[in-house]
Chains A and B, each alone.
Chain A
Amino acid sequence: EDKVVQSPLSLVVHEGDTVTLNCSYEVTNFRSLLWYKQEKKAPTFLFMLTSSGIEKKSGRLSSILDKKELSSILNITATQTGDSAIYLCAVATSGSRLTFGEGTQLTVNP
């Protein structure tokens, strides 16, 4: 059975801090790893990482895929209160469905 594990499950930081969120996976037929941000109900797409694109960056957010260690990290630098959300990691396999981790609840305090 495919499995995705995220850590920590929750994290509280102060504005300006840098955070690192972790995701590890055990799946068959890995195709890609995706990160989503969920503030209310709809998860919004952040990054997709594949064997041919193991590092992505957008503004203060960046992500790296380590295929050897079967893991990924999501970094957020100079955090802001608007970064408070649940961050979801998901893995796509040959069946096209996404297998999600439980998510990391990030709270950024002013």
Chain B
Amino acid sequence: GAGVSQSPSNKVTEKGKDVELRCDPISGHTALYWYRQSLGQGLEFLIYFQGNSAPDKSGLPSDRFSAERTGGSVSTLTIQRTQQEDSAVYLCASSVTRSDTQYFGPGTRLTVL
């Protein structure tokens, strides 16, 4: 079946602009995660959605970052007033309920000039 998909695959923006990154999880997966991977770094947790529960936003680095998940499926990560330090690969993952195994999408490479 189809895996996790993300769009766009690459995004170049100017400092100060807002960007939206999209994630389409595996059908039937109730949990959805966003991670960030900066150059040469491991993955950094950003936010976690589980069903209709309130999301765990504890990994968001600043109030410029927000995310929503509509209809329990597609998720959008929004970064407002982008800064150069936001440049990274943003990875989305999904899993079935009560499983630790997360399946990752191909990511969005964000470059802030």
Contacts and interface: CB of A to CB of B under 8 A. Distances in A.
Interface of A is mostly: strand
A43 B35 CA distance: 12
A32 B89 CA distance: 25
B33 interface: yes
Contact of B56 (A44, A95, A101, A103): A95
B107 A42 contact: yes
A14 interface: no
Interface residues of A, number: 24
Interface of B is mostly: strand
A32 B40 CA distance: 24
Interface of A: 4, 31-32, 34, 36, 40-45, 48, 88, 90, 92, 95-103
Among B91, B102, B103, B107, residue most surrounded by chain A Cβ atoms (within 10 Å): B102
Contacts of A41: 89, 91, 106-107, 109
Nearest to A93: B100
Nearest to A101: B42
Contacts of B104: 36, 42-44
B41 A102 contact: yes
Interface string B27-57: 0000101010000111111001010000010
Given A96-B31, A100-B44, 12 more contacts: A34-B101, A36-B104, A41-B91, A41-B106, A42-B4, A42-B107, A88-B43, A96-B56, A96-B100, A98-B45, A100-B43, A102-B40
Nearest to A4: B42
Contact of A97 (B41, B48, B101): B48
Contact of A98 (B4, B41, B43, B109): B43
